[in-house]
Structure 1
Amino acid sequence: MVHLYYDSKTGNVQRFINKVIQITGWQAHKIEESLEIQESGHLVTYTTKLGSMPEKTKMFMDNHADKIYSVTSSGNRNWGRNFGLAADKVSEDYDIPLATKFELSGTMEDINQFIEIIKHQYNDSKRGSKKLDIA
């Protein structure tokens, strides 16, 4: 079973996750201060303040980075080179492979691409490999 851990502020990541679990049946867990994870999985977060990692995501990763296989982030292409930058920061700060990035709540193509990446590159891996990153 694939576990997804996600942080959502405006609902875009929540909508993306809802579509993914509807298609796959995977387990999704919203990041809350009290969340303790038992199963390794994948992080999906959002980019805030024109390219920053959300504080809740940072606190989660400070406590659970060893159980996260990959990171994916939503963003807004209007931010140019800062698009989805939270994923780059998580990847760099915690040595987590970057799976992909998507705009706002993602298109069906984004959702299908994410599912394929997780199924074929990171599922049950030992944290994946940076050379597999396609974002």
Structure 2
Amino acid sequence: MKVVYFSLTGQTRRFVNKLNLDSYEVTETNPFYRIEEDFVVVAPTYDIEVTELMNDFIEYSDNLSHLKGVAGGGNRNFADLFVFTARDLAKKYNVPMLIEFEFSGTDLDVSHFKKEVDNIEHN
């Protein structure tokens, strides 16, 4: 399963790199990319104006039909706003929230993420 992500500060990219899974990074210059396989999104927590790129990607062509789940990264110091972007995406697109992790995630976060993706692939 492909991992699609957006990273502004590099924290999300570092998490995705630890996964050793096929991935695609959405950037400001390429949100309108058609994906033809199932994918999960890893979303950082930023203002909605910044993360609209993920909505553009998900809603482009038939990408939404391949979206299987969302994971979110952030900083727990933001309290209720911790991983709000990922939670919003999961709710908006009616897909499961897979995991929440802080900063670039721990080895345990990586393990949990891979387990969740494996569960999706085999169910």
Normalising by structure 2, we get a TM-score of 0.87
Whole-Å separation in 1 of the counterparts to 2:96 and 2:113 = 13
Match of 1:133 in 2: none
Give the match for residue 10 of structure 1: 9
Match of 1:59 in 2: 56
- 1:26-105 matches, cutoff 5 A: 26-31=21-26, 32-49=30-47, 52=48, 54-63=51-60, 64-105=63-104
Runs of at least 4 residues of structure 1 off by over 3 A? Answer: none
Unaligned runs of 5+ in 2: none
Q: Aligned-pair RMSD on alpha carbons? A: 1.5
Shift of 1:36: 1.6
Structure 1: state its 5+ residue gaps.
126-135
Q: Identical aligned pairs, as a percentage?
A: 26
Tell me whether 1:107 sits opposite 2:106 in the alignment.
yes
The offset of 1:33, in angstroms, is: 2.3
- Deviations 1:70-93, CA, capped at 9 Å, x for gaps: 000111100001111111100111
Aligned amino acid, residue 20 of structure 1: L
Supply the distance in 1 between the matched residues of 2:122 and 2:87 (Cα, whole angstroms).
Answer: 22
Kindly provide the CA deviation profile for residues 81-125 of structure 1, in whole angstroms up to 9, marking residues without a partner as x: 111111110011111111111111101111111111111x21254
- Once the 2 structures are TM-superposed, how far is the Cα of residue 35 of structure 1 from its aligned partner? 2.0
